[in-house]
Amino acid sequence: MRMRTSFLGLSNAHAFCFRHVPFCEAAACGKMPEGKAPHFPQQPVARQNDDGSLELECFVDAAPTPEIKWFYDNKEIPKDNRFQQRLDNKGNDSYSAVLTIKDLADSDAGAYRCAIVNPHGKGNANFNLKLTGFSSPTFVEKPQISSRDDGQVMVMEFRAKSILKPTFVWQKGDEIVAQSDRVKVVLREEPNQIYYSALEIKEPTKDKDAGQFVCTAKNESGKLTATFTVKFEVPQGAPTFTRKPQILQKTSDSGDPAIVFDIGYQADRNPEVIWINPKGKKIKESSRIKFTTSSDGGSNTYTATLELKNYKAKDSGTYTCNIKNDAGEANVELTLNIEGPLDDGGDDSEA
């Protein structure tokens, strides 16, 4: 979504015209053709077009057809692709002089003057423009979410144009997104004042990455906000977690101190529960480790536990519980911190 604040202020436009003809050159001498000096029948106007350009227009009566020149801060404005000038004949010696300004920027604010002259005299129409927000970033490509590498990388991206060099900040909620081995922030400057901004997330998961991401592009003139809502669609029957996972302390049936990882989940189609240790290896049962799965009494709801006896500092780290069936899979991580000296011991995992 684009947020843009812009204000176009036009001071009371004043049109001045005057005529000075030396008496010896006046029509009374028989040397001046008939006609009339430029005269402004109404106040000049300024308007913004749908394409973002701005038009300054003044209306004049004159005969013969007058010549026009436009000035900005008393310097003549050259005719080019951004500043276009025209004089339209409205009939009955009436004309409309128009200056069109494309790709408006805050720096275009200031004093403009339309000078009109013919053999009988001259006149000036003055404009004072106040522009705010016209140099803020604008979208040239809608924000979009896509994936690559067979869905292993989620990409949130957009392109914006900014006359002034902008900054880009990515946030999720109130927190600024930090780069890591899993998260990459991309910013690339392209031709014609275009900037590409993207957030790339490897192996996205619902627990870590679901929610709303916002990228704010900001410069001295204003800001632009790109919003991305990340949702993970769960296939019918695929595993989902029913409550927050827990790490509990208890005494095992053998009387030994134990840590219990406790997971609540719902799934059908014969779900399989796999536990992964901090080294990324599948855990197997042993004299210290025991798995249990029991029904919670609801429709396809269960509790899965991993009991770790005689735990030591070497057991610290992040454990993953992976639950999957033929409809999908779900993962949850639990981080265990045990203080004490590290010591050697067996690796309760499969090679």
Residue 349 pLDDT class (50, 70, 90 cuts): low
d(CA 252, CA 336): 18
For residue 134, give both structure tokens: 């016209």
Domain 138-230 has CATH 2.60.40.10: yes
d(CA 135, CA 219): 8
107: Cβ–Cβ under 8 A, 6 or more apart, which residues? 135
Residue 205 pLDDT class (50, 70, 90 cuts): confident
For residue 12, CA distances in Å to 43, 45, 72 come to 9, 10, 17
Same-fold call for 138-230 versus 240-336: yes
Q: What is the pLDDT of residue 218?
A: 95
Mean predicted confidence (pLDDT) in 257-274: 93
31: Cβ–Cβ under 8 A, 6 or more apart, which residues? 25
**For the chain, what is the radius of gyration of the CA atoms?**
37
80: Cβ–Cβ under 8 A, 6 or more apart, which residues? none
Per-residue pLDDT tens over the stretch 99-111? 999 988 888 999 9
Which of 124-138, 195-209, 299-313 has the least mean pLDDT? 124-138
295: Cβ–Cβ under 8 A, 6 or more apart, which residues? 301, 302, 303
Q: Is the overall model pTM greater than 0.85, yes or no? A: no
With beta carbons less than 8 A apart as the criterion, state whether 62 and 41 touch.
no
DSSP 240-288: EE-S--EEEEEE-TTS-EEEEEEEEEE--S--EEEEE-TTS-BB---SS
Q: Which of 44, 53, 55 has the alpha carbon at shortest distance from 99?
A: 55
pLDDT at 232 over 90: no
Residue 6 or 161, more confident = 161
For residue 118, give both structure tokens: 């013919």
Residue ranges of domains in the chain: 7-132, 138-230, 240-336
pLDDT at 313 over 50: yes
Topology of domain 7-132 in CATH is Immunoglobulin-like (2.60.40)
- Residue in the block written with tokens 């081995």: 181
What is the SS3 assignment for 296? coil
pLDDT at 278 over 50: yes
Per-residue pLDDT tens over the stretch 8-49? 333 333 333 323 233 333 344 455 568 999 999 999 999 988
**48: β partners:** 54
For residue 303, give both structure tokens: 């509790």
Please state whether 337 falls in left (phi above 0), alpha (psi between -120 and 50) or beta: beta
Residue 73 pLDDT class (50, 70, 90 cuts): very high
Q: What is the pLDDT of residue 29?
A: 46
Q: What is the pLDDT of residue 342?
A: 62
Mean predicted confidence (pLDDT) in 149-174: 93
Q: What is the pLDDT of residue 134?
A: 82
Residue 315 pLDDT class (50, 70, 90 cuts): very high
Q: What is the pLDDT of residue 133?
A: 81
240-336: which CATH architecture? Sandwich (2.60)
Other residues' Cβ atoms within 10 Å of the Cβ of residue 283: 20
240: Cβ–Cβ under 8 A, 6 or more apart, which residues? 234, 265, 266, 267, 330
Residue 351 pLDDT class (50, 70, 90 cuts): very low
Mean predicted confidence (pLDDT) in 224-244: 89
Percent of the chain with pLDDT over 70: 88
